[in-house]
Structure formats: structure tokens, C-alpha cells
Structure 1
Amino acid sequence: MAHTFHEGELALQKKYKAYHPPGLVKRLLKDHIIDQLIPFIEQQTTVIISSTDEAKNIWTSMLIGQKDFIKVESPKHVTIDLKKVQSNQNDILFSNIIAQNNVGLLFIDTASRTRYRMNASAEIIDHKIEFHISEAYPNCPKYIQQRILTVNEESSIQENNQIKGTTLTEKQRQWIKTADTFFLGSVNNKDNMDASHRGGPKGFIELLENDTLKIPDYIGNNLFNTLGNFLQCPKAGLLFIDFEKGSALQLTGKTTLVLDQESTEDLETTMGTGRYWLFTPEQWIQTETYQKANWEFVSFSPFNP
């Protein structure tokens, strides 16, 4: 695969002198799932999916299912069996796929702190979501809090218990300010979607005036996939999960990069990068019964500041 980073990614790689040998890039970034990771994908009970609605707003969703609800039909073709999904099927994801079929996928195992990202197109055929892979690559285990997921073997959630709004409630503000994990969707100027994970110690997200989230950008793989997308398309979709109650908060809004912050406090907060990004919510969806699963917290990531 002749992979080239887009201009947003390249600009930040150049700024931060992040050189990636072509041989390493070729080994990591593929246009298909490598054979060794097919068993990992098929064993997962969780997948994070980013999508866009008709107005080009980004939303991030989580599907949870039984052990065999994900099938790798071929290295470029993955299916999800909706009959085996144990999370809320009133999620905005399903209408978004019809509106715009590019999606980002993140297969994440929080127990082993393993994750694998894909970019794909999606379509719903009968009772399945069909994904056609255009890019696939592994991610490091940093900042993943260790949780063991146990899926309840029961029928899919059918009730529609969603509320929507544009201004955060006080309960939602507290939820965000005490979170240690969220999931994130972004997009570049060619409508290629990405799904990723962000984690840190409880309270790592600062809530500013006007409900703007200030999020430190810790040391990562230096590919700058997400921040590079923000340079080209300054918007995102965030997903917060209440791991104890099974509810979810999905936010869509605008992003702003805040770079070159060199005060002692900023360098300590960002683990030396001096980088933040801001997220201003414009719409939200809260679902009380988003999933029926048990998440057992084990430990915080040893990489957390």
C-alpha cells in the first residue's frame, strides 16, 4: 500500500520533528487487516465507531455484543451481526451510515490494553453492518485504564430512552470532569473518518467557560492522526460511557488546537508536550440504557501522569 499522510498530519510531524522511516510506516499502516490480528478482532466484544450525520456533524458510538458478533470475512471485509449486539440499536450511528458511509473503527480490549484502528466504508444489509477496509493499523497501549468487560447474554436493548440538547446539564459537567476515559471521532478534508481513545487520571479534562473542554495531548505515536484531522476539519464527536450505570453521553462540536504552551504547569499537565485541544459542544445525546454489560475496574494506566 502506498500510504501518504495528509497535509494536516505532515504539518504537525514536521513541527515536532517526528520522522517515521518509510519501512516502519509500510509495516504498520496497511490497507487490510494483517493475518495475525484477525483472531484478536473476532474475539472482541466491543467496537467504537465514528460517523457523520447529514449536517456533517461527527458522532462516536460503541457497539457491544456477544463473543462472535464480529466476523472477519476477509482481510478487507468485516461484518457485525446486529442480532448479537447487546447495546442500544437506536444509536445515531445507524442513520448516519445511510447519510454518509465513511466510518472510523476502533477495536479496543481494555483488559489487555490492546487496540487496533481501521478506516472503512459501511453499509447495513439485512441484519448486518458490512465494513470495507481502506486502512488498518495498531496503536500503543498508553493511557488505557484496565477494565474487564463481561457481556450480559440477553436480548438487545430496544427501548428508546434518549434525551437531546445543546447546553450541558450540571450532571453532565460533573460526568465529564470526573471521567478517566472517552472515545473520539474525527475526519479529514477528504471525509476519511478516524476513531480513537483518550484516557488519563480522573479529572484530566478541564471544563472552561461556555462548557468548553480543555484536553491535554499526551505523548503518543507522533503520527498526529487526530490533531492532523483537526487542522483540516476542526470538529469532533466525543463519547463518554458511565461504566457503572451503562449510560452514555455523545457530544458533537468544534475543536481548536492550543500548541506551544511552555509554562511549568502546562508542561507538567501535558507530560512535556505543551499541547492541548479545545472542544466546544454544540449538540448532545444522552442515553440512559446505552448498554447492558459489566465493566470491572482493575487499574489506571501506568502511563498516566
Structure 2
Amino acid sequence: MTDDTVPTPSPWHPGEVALQRERGVSERMAVIGRKVLRPFLTEEHRAFYPLLPFVVLGAVDPQGAPWATLRAGHPGFLHSPDPSELALEVRRDPQDPADAGLGDGDAVGLLGIDLTTRRRNRLNGTVRRQGDAAFSIAVVQGFGNCPRYIQARTPAFSRDPSQLPATTPVVSDHLDATARRMIREADTFFVASYADVPGGERQVDVSHRGGKPGFVRTDPGGGLTVPDFSGNMFFNTLGNFAINPRAGLVFMTPETGDLLQITGRVSFVDDPRALARFEGAERLWKLHPEQVVRRPAALPIRWSPGADHLSPFSLRTGDWGTG
């Protein structure tokens, strides 16, 4: 007989709870989390993933470095054979630094995002590898996200997405002039993070970040400063940073399909004056790059701005020239 008086465990790990408590929302988020973070995919989410031409993945390589990446396919390359599983027809790519963390049994984060409609859903789980041409994810948590800060774009394939790119990656331990330009022009990036939580479980997350072009600042010392805007109070990314201050970022150039992947250490910026310079930011964090991989034309999609391209939420934020 089940004792209905025993509450289900909180879906949040200690890093997430600490930040929720800091904002005074931990009790409310404990209730919300039990409702919206599910150990399966809803029927709505299962119907959503096959519509997408690309997916964002967060993985951790054998050295413990997190990486974010974008992988593409004709709609239908993602599908859910049952609520506990998402299947991906995605080939292994040795040029992608995230690929080393996509082996059988590896923890993984996934973001499905439709830039045309600004819909997005997330999950984290465990890789089940069927071979070099496909794998699936056993779902640990699946949940939806709001459309805030998503810039509208329309995709078009530039080549067969099943073919790996023919270009050679540029690998470095710092940001070169081209990488800095890509960051300064970007209005979108994706960030992977992870935490090893009590019980020995590794939880990987990959999240979207958006703002006005140039909202990520390249600093003279070689790092990046990122404003963190108000969100859903889940604190998946920042909660992971609180436990494990490492991140993997990926920027894309929409017109060329170039990807810039960076992994490094994170620190929070404890400077109210710096925070005050950026309207709409609740906090700032820095990434100190340790490895940088620039992959020309890695993504077989070219993007054109959609109607009302910049999100109205992005338009309400400031830039580094204000304040």
C-alpha cells in the first residue's frame, strides 16, 4: 500500500536549491519542480522533436570538460519510440569535441529548440549507443521552457546533413581575432554545464542564452563576460556552476554555419558596479577559456532572420555601452 503522505523527492540538486533559496523562491520551486520536471517525455514533447532540423547537445569528455554542440538532420531525425526514450539519427563526428562525451552510458543534456516558433524543450538523461550512426537517450528529466530571449530565424539546408563537414577545425587555447568577432556579433549562444550530485549521479544540462548582438563581452584578459537575465528560476546552469564551475559554450554564425566551441572555467562577478552597467542582468559570470575549437561550415544549415527577429525580451535589455 502506498503512503500518499510521503512527499516525492525534490527534483532539484543542492546547487539549484541554494540559488533558489538565495532568491527566496525555494519552497515555491519545490512545488513547481515536482509538477514540471518529469522522468519521461509528454505526448506534446514527443510530437515536437520530430519537427526539428537541429538539436543542441551538452556532453562531458573523458577529461571532465563540458562541451556544447549543434547537430542537424532532416525533420524526423529525432523521434521518441516511447515516453522514456528519445532516438537521434546522428553520426559520430571526430571533429566535434563534444562527440567524445557521447559514448554508451554517458550522461547528456539536450535542448530541442524551434527558432521559427520560439518553442523549446529540454531533457537530460543517459546515452544508449546503437552504433556510429545513431544513439538514443534514456530520459531522466524532461521539461518545457518559455520562449524568452529566443531570436526568430528561418532555416535552410546548405548540404546533405548526413555528410560530415569537409573543413578542418582550428584548435587553440585562446580566442583568436575570428573567434572574438563571432562572439561580438552573436545574439545567441548555448551553454553546457554539469554537476555530480548526491548518490553519484551526473546531471548534464544544455541551455539557451540570447540578447542583443554583442551581449557577451570579450575581455582584454582573454575571457568572456556574460549577463544572466531573469528566467524561470530553475537555475539549472547557475546551479551546476555552484557545484562545478565549468562550462562549454557554442556560438554559431547563422549565414555560414560556422561553430565556435569553448570549454573552460567559470567565475561569478561580484561587482555591483559592473552589474549596474548592463540593464536587465541579474548577475554576471565569466568564462575563462581552456580550449577553443572553431569549425568552419560545421552546421549544414543557413539561417535567415525571421519576422520580429529579436525577441521582445532581448530588446528590453541593455548593452555594454550603456550605464
TM-score w.r.t. structure 1 length? 0.92
Look up the equivalent residue of 2:98 and give its one-letter code.
L
- 1:256–1:99 Cα change, 3 Å: farther
How many angstroms apart in 2 are the aligned matches of 1:231 and 1:69? 35
**SS of the residue 2:189 aligns to:** strand
Look up the equivalent residue of 1:149 and give its one-letter code.
P
The CA deviation string for residues 234-274 of structure 1, in whole angstroms up to 9 with x for no partner, is 00000011111111110000001125x544x733614162x
Q: 2:187 is matched with which residue?
A: 180
**SS of the residue 1:279 aligns to:** strand
Equivalences for residues 70-219 of structure 1 within 5 A = 70-82=78-90, 90-98=95-103, 101-126=106-131, 127-152=133-158, 154=160, 155-190=162-197, 191-219=202-230
Q: 2:40 is matched with which residue?
A: 32
Report % sequence identity.
Answer: 28
Look up the equivalent residue of 2:189 and give its one-letter code.
F
Structure 1 stretch displaced more, 189-198 or 120-129: 120-129
The CA deviation string for residues 48-69 of structure 1, in whole angstroms up to 9 with x for no partner, is 0011111101111111100111
- 1:160–1:123 Cα change, 3 Å: farther
TM-score w.r.t. structure 2 length? 0.87
In the TM superposition, residue 153 of structure 1 has moved relative to its aligned partner by 6.0
Structure 1 runs (4+) deviating above 6 angstroms are none
How many angstroms apart in 1 are the aligned matches of 2:294 and 2:304? 22
In the TM superposition, residue 131 of structure 1 has moved relative to its aligned partner by 0.8
Q: Does 1:58 align with 2:63?
A: no
**SS of the residue 1:90 aligns to:** coil
Q: Does 1:249 align with 2:260?
A: yes
How many angstroms apart in 2 are the aligned matches of 1:11 and 1:166? 32
**SS of the residue 2:261 aligns to:** strand
- 1:207–1:118 Cα change, 3 Å: same
Q: Does 1:297 align with 2:305?
A: yes
Contact 1:47 1:64 in 2 (8 A): yes
**SS of the residue 1:281 aligns to:** strand
- 1:10–1:21 Cα change, 3 Å: closer
**SS of the residue 1:148 aligns to:** strand
The CA deviation string for residues 99-142 of structure 1, in whole angstroms up to 9 with x for no partner, is 87101000011111111110011132132111111001111111
The CA deviation string for residues 54-97 of structure 1, in whole angstroms up to 9 with x for no partner, is 110111111110011111011111111136x9xx6632233222
How many angstroms apart in 2 are the aligned matches of 1:166 and 1:100? 29
Q: Let me know the Cα RMSD of the aligned residues.
A: 2.0
Q: Which runs of 5+ in 1 are unaligned?
A: none
Pick aligned residue for 1:285 from 273, 289, 293: 293
Q: 1:271 is matched with which residue?
A: 280
**SS of the residue 1:141 aligns to:** coil
Q: Which runs of 5+ in 2 are unaligned?
A: 1-7, 318-323
How many angstroms apart in 1 are the aligned matches of 2:45 and 2:13? 26
How many angstroms apart in 1 are the aligned matches of 2:259 and 2:44? 33
How many angstroms apart in 1 are the aligned matches of 2:53 and 2:203? 25
What is the aligned residue count? Answer: 299
